[in-house]
Structure 1
Amino acid sequence: MGFLNVLTDKEADPVKRLSQALQEIKTVLQQLREKVLSRPFPSKETEISFFKNIKPKFYAWRIFHLELYNLDMNKPAGTRDMLLAFYKHELGLVERFFKLNAFLYHYFKAGFSEMDGMYFIRGAEIPTVLQPEIPDADQQFSTGMDYLYARFMAFEMLQKEILDRMNGLDGTLHPVEPKKPKPVPTLKWTGSHVNLVELVYGLYYTMQLNNGHADVTEIVNLMEDTFGIKLRDAHHSFVEIRRRKVDSPSRFLEQMAAAIQQRVEDDLDYKPQLKKALKAQKEGD
């Protein structure tokens, strides 16, 4: 893609630059698509590598040139200070994009691979809470994450371009690496195995996930990935929960509700006027 680097530096007309870049990228992506569809990948690892490392690099240039065109068409024809203010605003938008996608951007920057089987295999099911927002895509030539990886690459190029322009105007700024988002803390389930199974079935029977369409296995997998625990034989554990004789089958959930209620009561003890008003409202009802 050296042609696109030269095009960025040499072509001053934003319209011509965008037109030539999009045509070049379209040709390359069509060739890649034909090769991918002409024969299956020899292994899942090869498919993951293609959609994680190869396709996004080409698609990133398409996104970058579209963003570069918007940058040039919207920049003010004014003073140095006006241009600096404009570029600072655009730089803030880039930074905001990274923050809005902090978890996935950290996955990208850190080179993680734990969820590659979901993110870079075509047709793989991704839990809703982990699924990035992507446009309607060609299902034969797209995965759940390759588009967002391309956007990360493109926005890092855009960030460098903006910083270079600001440095040319101000003389004091220098291109820097994008700030890495704060690492997401790892939470490990240290409570009872049965309590977590009870929580799984509580979420399932109250239809809290995917508008009630998430099945028990999906919720179990989510809990295992989130809390670093293996819920082996969750169905058997639930059978044991149903057989409880002395305690309620939903003992753990009731303990949670009681703990929250106690905290509310404790808080209200420090706010007697609010407690009195709530009591009067309850009696009035």
Structure 2
Amino acid sequence: MKKIKSLIKRYGITISNIEKSDAKTLTKLNKCIALSQECLNQLRVHIREHDFVSQEEEIDFFKHKKPKIYGKLKFFAHQLNFLSECPDSSIGIQKIFINKALKKLESEKKKNLTFYKYYNHNETSFDDKYFVRGNNQLDLFSNTFHLNKDPQFSTSHDLVVAEIIAYDLIIDYYKRKLESFKLNNSQIVVKEVLPKILSNLPWTASKTDLVELLYALNASGAIKNGEAEMKKLVEICKQLFGIDLGNIYKTYSEIKVRENDPTKFLDLMKINLIRKLNSEQ
């Protein structure tokens, strides 16, 4: 059993180093697949040459140790297939592709739903049937029955556990993909709101003047019938004019207590507009 622990520990460390490396994704996946296959072969040879000291040890190996590696192998292979088959087009089409894959996975999960619950609830009542070699009659009731699997290195349900482990890893992988699409979409929205024509438009009056204008527009119902959120208007001005208005509520309070002219900027705008209109007559 020490040899098995040593092989699995070395496998885990090497896989982790590969995943953290700067190599290309396809290169890393191919290395992980090859390493997983090699580890499984080494375990197969060891099991053939050394018997388990107890049934508990055999159950532990086929319920936890072998499926963990086999599950990762299936996960790496699934990722490789995804990268080769997923359309290299719009985010919308890729999302459709992923959602179809998720539905297919969910359908496969339902075929073994009873055992899935058994495993995830950490039940043990049937472990001596599911994870001890020689119970070949259970293969007839398993959706993962294979005529050519190695009877010395397989039980009726160790492969099903591997599929459960792979399923959970794949679901998490797809969720992260969909989250990255959301992030990309949010970045695209910003680019659409800020086309090139709106660049280099600095606000050259004071911040207080802009706050006064925003409150005037909102109070007059000029934007969304006066129901626009001030925070949203401030963010738009930040993106449009490249100016951070800071605490607008404090600025607005200062405007309200101006004794002589609380609408100083609006009054100045009116004067300048009238002057321009008169000069052009």
User: What TM-score, normalized to structure 1?
Assistant: 0.55
Shift of 1:163: 0.5
Partner residue, 1:75: 86
2:144/2:159 contact within 8 Å kept: no
Higher helix share: 2
- The one-letter amino acid paired with 1:149 is V
Which of the numbers 87, 105, 111 marks the counterpart of 1:94? 105
Cα offsets for 1:127-151 (capped at 9, x unmatched) = 4674342333111111111111011
**Preserved contact between residue 51 and residue 120 of structure 1 (Cα < 8 Å):** yes
1:1-285 → structure 2 map (5 Å cutoff): 1-8=12-19, 10-14=22-26, 16-127=27-138, 130-135=141-146, 136-171=148-183
Instruction: Encode CA deviations 1:229-281: one digit per residue, 9 max, x unaligned.
Output: xxxxxxxxxxxxxxxxxxxxxxxxxxxxxxxxxxxxxxxxxxxxxxxxxxxxx
Secondary structure (helix, strand or coil) at the match of 1:41 reads coil
Which protein shows a greater Rg?
2
Structure 1's 162 and 140: CA in aligned 2 closer, same or farther, altered over 3 A? same
Supply the distance in 2 between the matched residues of 1:127 and 1:31 (Cα, whole angstroms): 27
Taking the aligned partners of 1:90 and 1:132, their CA distance within structure 2 comes to 19
Deviation (angstroms), 1:12: 3.0
CA contact (8 A) 1:64 1:158 kept: yes
How many residues align? The count is 171
* CA deviation after TM superposition for structure 1 residue 113, in Å: 1.3
Q: Deviations for 1:64-103, whole angstroms, at most 9, x for unmatched residues?
A: 1111111111111111111111111112122222112111
CA gap 1:39/1:55 in 2 versus in 1, 3 angstroms? same
CA contact (8 A) 1:91 1:159 kept: yes
One-letter identity of the residue aligned with 2:160:
L
Q: Distance in 1 between matches of 2:102 and 2:179?
A: 13
Q: Judging changes above 3 Å, is the alpha-carbon distance between structure 1 residues 63 and 41 closer, same or farther for their aligned structure 2 residues?
A: same
CA distance in 1, matches of 2:99, 2:91: 12
Task: Give the CA deviation at 1:34.
Answer: 2.4
| Aligned residue number for residue 213 of structure 1 | none
AA aligned to 1:148 is: V
Instruction: Supply the distance in 2 between the matched residues of 1:110 and 1:7 (Cα, whole angstroms).
Output: 32
CA distance in 1, matches of 2:156, 2:138: 11
**Greater mean deviation of Cα atoms: 32-41 or 126-135:** 126-135
Q: What are the Cα deviations for residues 115-167 of structure 1, in whole angstroms up to 9, with x where unaligned?
A: 11111111124346743423331111111111110111011101100100100
- 5+ residue gaps, structure 2: 1-11, 185-281
Q: What is the TM-score normalised by the length of structure 2?
A: 0.56
**Cα distance in 2 for residues equivalent to 1:61 and 1:128:** 23
